[in-house]
Amino acid sequence: MKILLVEDHQGSRRNLQRLIERRGHEVTACGSVEEAETALAVEKFPFLILDWMLPGRSGVELCRELRTQPDGDEPYIWLITGRSDTKALEEALEAGANDYLLKPVDAGRLNLRLSVAERQIRGLAERNESRAALRDYARNMTGILENTTDGFLALDADWKFIYVNPKAASLLDCSRDELLGESFWEKFPKVYGFETDYRKKMAEGAALEFEATDATSNHLFEVHAYPSGRGISVFFRDVNRRKTTEEERLKASKLESLGTLAAGIAHDLNNILTVISGNIGLAQFGAPEGAGTYLPSLSKASRAAEYAAHLSNQLLTFAKGSIPHKQAASVGELLTHACEFALHGSNLRAEIQIAPDLWKAEVDAEQIKQVINALILNARDAMPFGGTVRLQATNQELTPEENSVLAPGHYLKVSISDHGEGITPEVAAKMFDPYFTTKALASGLGLSIGQSVVKKHGGLLHLESSSADGSTFAFYLPATDVKLSAGKVSGRERRFNFDRQRVLVMDDDASIRELTSQLLGTLGYDVTSVPDGVEAVRAYERALRAGEKFQAVILDATVRGGLGGVATIERLRHVDPDVIAIICSGYSDEGALTEFLSYGFRAALPKPFTRTELGDVLQRVIAARRLI
């Protein structure tokens, strides 16, 4: 053990040093308090032996000073004195000495007293090590609490703040000086229920978890409170962002479920509408010449079935945002019809200005109608007391300098203006976000889906301007020079004659197989129908072996519990690389309908289809094959 001996008499100092060192201790000896302080500044001694009377400051004074320092109770201190009166000894103990030794020092008595001191010093060392460990632990805990991302505060039994970490001060919007020593309930009187619940939990010796809001209800806190002695320790965090994220995730999950449901409904509805439309077509084709009075009714039924199919596809677009099936179209008539339809029954009137030389565009007409409908509904909400909605369509040639979002080129610009009170910057920053709405009963999806639809068309939808005089939304669609597709021809006007060419039809719905076979029969085809892909491959192989190859194959994309169209075409191409196949589906967002060539098909036939559409697609693919 290292011992510091302070004795001004050189002979006594040497004698004591020699006696102590005989017990195996390392002794540093010095003759004054100043020398002792120098030694203490360099090294730590667990045992100090101080002469009472020293030149200058005495050993008693040094003992008293050491005890007032941080960790001053750690060393074991002896005072050596020639005074044996009780008052002097009491003064030594009051100064902080653990024991004293009377002069002259007897070697036997010294050894005895050293033995006692050594045992006591070992106990002090263990205590000091535990204290140091606790001090380090407290320092580490304080560092953790000071730097944790959670707020932490401690309250005493009187609900007064005794500790507040920086995060807690930030969350409570107060400085630590404003909180320490103050009453929790005087500072935050709006946290109802905390006191009652906590006292109950503290009586049970259990923790308490709850949620609380501040007085403004702008912050939602997740709170964990624990009994701590007679006080309270509280961890809390602002969970607004997490709650918002959870709500958005839940909404996204609901939307995904809605999309799955909508896709299934749209598929089944399109199958039903295929049967309805097909049978109407058969009735129109087979009606005798004298049945002219029935043909207008059949035409109305056919248009109603088409409208129902449009509604089915709108449902799917709303829920999932399906891939647009674009065709070159004259957009002016489409815009006019969509605007008038959206304003029907409202107290608004439309002012429509379509450029007479408006360029054509490749669009999915039903999806663009949805965009117009969303923008018109937005204008209607902006003018609840009536007014005029202005729709304008013009040609725009964009240069790199004019727009940094769209590629330079030719576009159709469609703008819709209202005369409402305008849109605030805060709303404008969020209005294209999914689910954001300022209306109590709205879904908040109209503008976000509209933006998605226009983007998938290669264009841009944005808020062009807004002021107290009204707002203008505008969207751009790429122009095209593709020729317009020919208009539809009724079943009685269009004539087909295919000289009994052979067609294989695969569909898991028996009514659609029967209908398709009947429609193809009226068009002059020889039809074989099967319920799934496995049977389709077998039928195709048998026909090849018999030298009766099918000129075309129509495959349903989705077969419940069986081999669908995409998997079937892969097998058929192994059997016959030159197979002519058409993909057919009631899912309007089926990827193979849009990218049919990449899947190995020659054409796509969305459900529901008419007799004329069926004949057109077959005539086109077979004629194209003959040109190869």
The DSSP code sequence of 266-320 is: HHHHHHHHHHHHHHHHHHHHH--TT-TTTHHHHHHHHHHHHHHHHHHHHHHHHHH
* CA neighbours closer than 13 Å in the CB half-sphere of residue 468: 0
Q: What is the pLDDT of residue 323?
A: 66
Looking at the DSSP assignment, which residues form a beta bridge with residue 17?
none
pLDDT at 493 over 50: no
Q: Which residue has the tokens 């001090």?
A: 135
Tokens standing for residue 128? 């000091």
Q: What is the pLDDT of residue 489?
A: 43
Q: What is the number of other CB atoms lying within 10 angstroms of the CB of residue 566? A: 20
**Cα 465 from Cα 379, distance rounded (Å):** 13
Q: What is the pLDDT of residue 574?
A: 93
Mean residue pLDDT across the chain? 81
Tokens standing for residue 384? 């609840």
pLDDT at 488 over 60: no
Tokens standing for residue 215? 């007085």
Answer whether 0.85 is exceeded by the pTM.
no
Please count the residues of the chain. 628
Report residue 205's pLDDT band, with 50, 70 and 90 as the boundaries: low
pLDDT at 394 over 90: yes
Q: What is the pLDDT of residue 620?
A: 87
Local structure of 227: helix, strand or coil: strand
pLDDT tens digits, one per residue of 212-249: 776 555 677 788 888 877 788 888 888 777 776 676 67
pLDDT at 439 over 70: no
pLDDT at 140 over 80: no
Local structure of 497: helix, strand or coil: coil
pLDDT tens digits, one per residue of 466-477: 888 899 999 999
pLDDT tens digits, one per residue of 418-434: 988 888 888 887 777 76
Instruction: From 617, 302, 271, 304, select the one nearest 491 (Cα to Cα).
Output: 302
Compare 229 and 510 and report the one with higher pLDDT: 510
Does residue 592 contact residue 582 with C-beta atoms inside 8 Å? no
pLDDT tens digits, one per residue of 522-540: 888 999 999 999 999 999 9
Compare 611 and 500 and report the one with higher pLDDT: 611
Q: Which residue has the tokens 């010449």?
A: 289
Percent of the chain with pLDDT over 90: 16
Q: What is the pLDDT of residue 327?
A: 79
Q: What is the number of other CB atoms lying within 10 angstroms of the CB of residue 409? A: 14
Instruction: From 47, 55, 50, 58, select the one nearest 6 (Cα to Cα).
Output: 50
**Cα 400 from Cα 419, distance rounded (Å):** 32
Q: What is the pLDDT of residue 35?
A: 92
pLDDT at 491 over 60: no
Instruction: From 553, 532, 533, 556, select the one nearest 543 (Cα to Cα).
Output: 553
For the segment 54-79, the average pLDDT, to the nearest whole number, is 87
Instruction: From 577, 571, 568, select the one nearest 585 (Cα to Cα).
Output: 568
**Cα 309 from Cα 141, distance rounded (Å):** 67
pLDDT at 197 over 60: yes
Q: What is the pLDDT of residue 127?
A: 78
Most confident of 267-271, 390-394, 429-433: 390-394
**Cα 385 from Cα 383, distance rounded (Å):** 5
φ/ψ bin of 173: left (φ > 0), alpha (ψ from -120 to 50), beta (otherwise): left
**Cα 184 from Cα 156, distance rounded (Å):** 10
Q: Which amino acid appears at position 580 of this protein? A: I
**Cα 567 from Cα 251, distance rounded (Å):** 34
Percent of the chain with pLDDT over 70: 81
pLDDT at 192 over 80: no
Local structure of 95: helix, strand or coil: coil
**Cα 582 from Cα 198, distance rounded (Å):** 71
